[in-house]
Chains A and B, each alone.
Chain A
Amino acid sequence: MNYFAIIGNPNCGKTTIFNELTGLRQKVGNYPGVTVEKKEGKILFKDGTEITLLDLPGTYSLTANSPDEKIVSDILLRKRIDIQRPEGIVCVVDASNLERNLYLVSQIIDQRFPLIIVLNMVDVAEDTGLIIDVGKLSKLLGVSVIKTVGIKRKGIDELKRAIQGKFQVSTAVRQWKLPEIVREEHEELTQLLIKHNSVKEDVAVYDAAALLSSPKQLKEFKDELKPEILDHVLLDHQRLESLGYDRHSIFVKSRIEWVRSICSEVVSIGEKKKSYTDIIDSIATHKFWGYIIFLTLMILMFQSIFTWATIPMNFISKGFDWIGYQLGALIPHGDLHDLIILGAVRGVGAVVTFLPQILLLFLFLGVLEDTGYMARAAFIMDRLMNKVGLHGKAFIPMLSSFACAIPGIMATRTIENPRDRLVTMMVAPLMSCSARLPVYSLLIAAFIPNLLVFGFWNLQGIVMISLYMLGLVMALLMAFIFKKTILKGKTPDFIMELPPYRLPSLKNILIQMWERSVLFLKKAGTIILGVSIILWFLATYPKIENGNPSEKLAHSFIGQAGQFIEPLMKPLGFDWKIDISILSSLLQREVFVSSISTIYNIQNADDKTVSLKSQMQKDLDTSTGLPRFTILTAICIMVYYVLAMQCMSTLTVVKRETNSWKWPFFQFAYMTGLAYLVTFIVYRVGLSFI
């Protein structure tokens, strides 16, 4: 045996255990729904042998409701011929929620999988006063049970040893007791399915229960079933109902009774430690204070991003100046010199300077995720989400989109209803991702005064959080419009488990920050460097012999193209340099910073020391003599970036998840249109005040 799967309820610590076993660094978080696809890793043993471990999304049962849960049930119930069925299961169980977690265990046991139970988070269980007799649990379930505390790496070595040799098929297969008549019908139907549909017994047992209890399952199976089986099922339904059995819940109830009987034997209540979770939650999820705390945390986050990052940003900026100076001294003046210094070094440098801010953003998001606050944020936002017709679960994908819209769109897989899922996908990219941060930061630092409001709130931080809030408000507004028009539908109730608060894992957060910096620097070294070089070429050629740098720039390919599209963007207050920078950042938003930097560097090629910020502040419109950039222009650009779809990768992922080009095209069109409209309004209203 060398192919196993790790499964369990959402947020029981599967991915933490998976990472510890395989040495991989998959994303983990203290809220349900972080893993939404299957991932594989290898466990290497000291004797040189290795096995493959499959990490699957969390699920409460094998009866799938959402697309991510369907992945699990399809793989385990042999519904996928293209994916190898695991030879054994490592089932992670949250010790502090044993009863709920054992429901899934009982379903896996019935599938006759060789199994190991991982009793994770025993520390949390002990803190809540639960004492679990592991030996007795192992005996009753007929499989090995290993105690672990995943985030502290406790029990992992023992688990590894167990994986090497202690997989067992449980002796407790189908020990839950159905009422006699239901049991007879169930067995009869099971035999029919084995005979006529050629399925294995374990799957037939599950399918028979599903057919007898769930109308949804019957609808799904209808085409696959032979008429005699279908008739039999319908007769069974009539018979059970006439005898007064609630066939929708009878199977669940029987299983739960069995699970409860086990829990009553193995769980005893000890001394309960004071629960900080309840105390914090009484404030953090309060209907008034909950919002205040959420807003305060957001303000603190963005204030700190601004103030703490200043020193390292200056350091990086000076580092790039130094590199430019050294390289400039080595290469004689000419085209290559300009390409390297003005295009490559300064273009890339302008973006890399923002690395500290991005790291701080991920530090804060990591802390919020790891402590369990994200789930509370989703909980308090549910009321608001419900008003606009969005499912409460949609807030987690939207919060993930603060980091990047791609994981956000993938996280929509936890939403059962396809229409709700689609609405969430359509609005998630309106949340400000980390790629917008360099654009906001550059413009805020250059044009928003560094003032204190009410003596302690930094105006720059307030503008930053306003941009994030604008994205959130527009996302909710668009969701409301979509739910009332093209994607009408009822909003289901939202049930979400609030995980206990815990101290954030420094390791997890550092891994996230490290991976983000690698990704950011990789982008800077590839696409941003590439676009800077191309832009340098387009902004340099064709050359004219006479004329000042501004005239030369205006005569270049980029200058001509910019002036061609200028009338289109003029109503928003944008000149051709801004238009070109927006156009060049269609692939990735950060490119705006490198593009504008390259354009200004070429225009001010003789001035070696002036920063991009001052170049933008000093740039005058030759026809009017007025500054090209004003506070209003900066605000308009930022508003445009909040709302416009400037990310090809996101569109590709939307295409993949919706299986059609229609939705990404629609998303691109509506977001760009919305950005244009709102920016136009802001500009026109702004002009009347200036």
Chain B
Amino acid sequence: MDWQKLISFITVLVTLFLIVRSEIKKYKLRKTRPCGSDCNCAVLKEVSLKKLK
């Protein structure tokens, strides 16, 4: 395997790992932060819709 191919493979694998990690992180953050980023806002559970009667 030539060096260009090797570096490409490593880059692709690292990228895949980073994408999955960032999506999980974003999902977790959205549970607690309305904006999905790290500002000081917060989600209050009471605004979630309860089951409709």
Dominant SS among interface residues on chain A: helix
The answer to whether A39 and B40 touch across the interface, beta carbons within 8 angstroms, is yes
A228-272 interface mask toward B, CB cutoff 8 Å, 1 = contact, 0 = none? 000000000000000000000000000000000000000000000
Q: Which residues in B have their C-beta under 8 angstroms from that of A37?
A: 34, 41-44, 47
Given A335-B8, A418-B52, A537-B8: A649 and B36 within 8 A (CB)? yes
Q: Cβ of A348 < 8 Å from any Cβ of B?
A: no
The answer to whether A336 and B30 touch across the interface, beta carbons within 8 angstroms, is no
The answer to whether A652 and B47 touch across the interface, beta carbons within 8 angstroms, is no
How far does the alpha carbon of A648 sit from the alpha carbon of B23 in the complex, in Å?
9
How far does the alpha carbon of A530 sit from the alpha carbon of B23 in the complex, in Å?
12
The answer to whether A534 and B19 touch across the interface, beta carbons within 8 angstroms, is yes
How far does the alpha carbon of A529 sit from the alpha carbon of B18 in the complex, in Å?
11
The answer to whether A67 and B47 touch across the interface, beta carbons within 8 angstroms, is yes
The answer to whether B49 and A657 touch across the interface, beta carbons within 8 angstroms, is yes
Q: Which residues in A have their C-beta under 8 angstroms from that of B11?
A: 336, 339, 533
How far does the alpha carbon of A659 sit from the alpha carbon of B50 in the complex, in Å?
7
The answer to whether A656 and B46 touch across the interface, beta carbons within 8 angstroms, is no
Dominant SS among interface residues on chain B: helix
Q: Which residue of B lies closest to A413 (CB)?
A: B47
- Tally B residues with Cβ within 8 Å of A: 34
Selected interface stretch from A68-76, A119-127, A309-317: A68-76
The answer to whether A659 and B49 touch across the interface, beta carbons within 8 angstroms, is yes
Q: Which residues in A have their C-beta under 8 angstroms from that of B16?
A: 530, 534
Q: Cβ of A406 < 8 Å from any Cβ of B?
A: yes
A33-72 interface mask toward B, CB cutoff 8 Å, 1 = contact, 0 = none? 0001111110000000000000000000000000110110
A527-541 interface mask toward B, CB cutoff 8 Å, 1 = contact, 0 = none? 101110110010000
Q: Which residue of A lies closest to B16 (CB)?
A: A534
Q: Cβ of A526 < 8 Å from any Cβ of B?
A: yes
Given A413-B47, A421-B49, A587-B23: A653 and B41 within 8 A (CB)? no
How far does the alpha carbon of A632 sit from the alpha carbon of B2 in the complex, in Å?
45
How far does the alpha carbon of A422 sit from the alpha carbon of B53 in the complex, in Å?
13
- The A/B interface has a contact count, at CB < 8 Å, of 104
A12-52 interface mask toward B, CB cutoff 8 Å, 1 = contact, 0 = none? 00000000000010000000000011111100000000000
Q: Which residues in A have their C-beta under 8 angstroms from that of B45?
A: 659
Q: Cβ of A516 < 8 Å from any Cβ of B?
A: no
Given A336-B7, A339-B8: A652 and B50 within 8 A (CB)? no
The answer to whether B34 and A334 touch across the interface, beta carbons within 8 angstroms, is no
How far does the alpha carbon of A68 sit from the alpha carbon of B43 in the complex, in Å?
11
Scoring B11, B41, B47 by chain A CB atoms within 10 A of each residue's CB, the highest score goes to: B47
The answer to whether B49 and A658 touch across the interface, beta carbons within 8 angstroms, is yes
The answer to whether B19 and A656 touch across the interface, beta carbons within 8 angstroms, is no
The answer to whether A649 and B30 touch across the interface, beta carbons within 8 angstroms, is yes
Q: Which residues in A have their C-beta under 8 angstroms from that of B30?
A: 649, 652-653, 656
Q: Which residue of B lies closest to A421 (CB)?
A: B49
Q: Cβ of A410 < 8 Å from any Cβ of B?
A: yes
Q: Which A residues are within 8 Å of any B CB, using their own CB?
A: 24, 36-41, 67-68, 70-71, 74, 80, 83, 332, 334-337, 339, 406, 410, 413, 418-419, 421-422, 487, 526-527, 529-531, 533-534, 537, 587, 648-649, 652-653, 656-660
> 5 tightest CB-CB pairs across the interface, nearest first?
A334-B4, A659-B48, A336-B4, A67-B47, A40-B40
- 18 A-B pairs, CB-CB below 8 angstroms? A37-B42, A38-B41, A38-B42, A39-B39, A39-B42, A40-B40, A68-B47, A336-B7, A337-B4, A413-B47, A487-B52, A533-B11, A533-B12, A648-B23, A652-B26, A656-B48, A657-B49, A660-B51
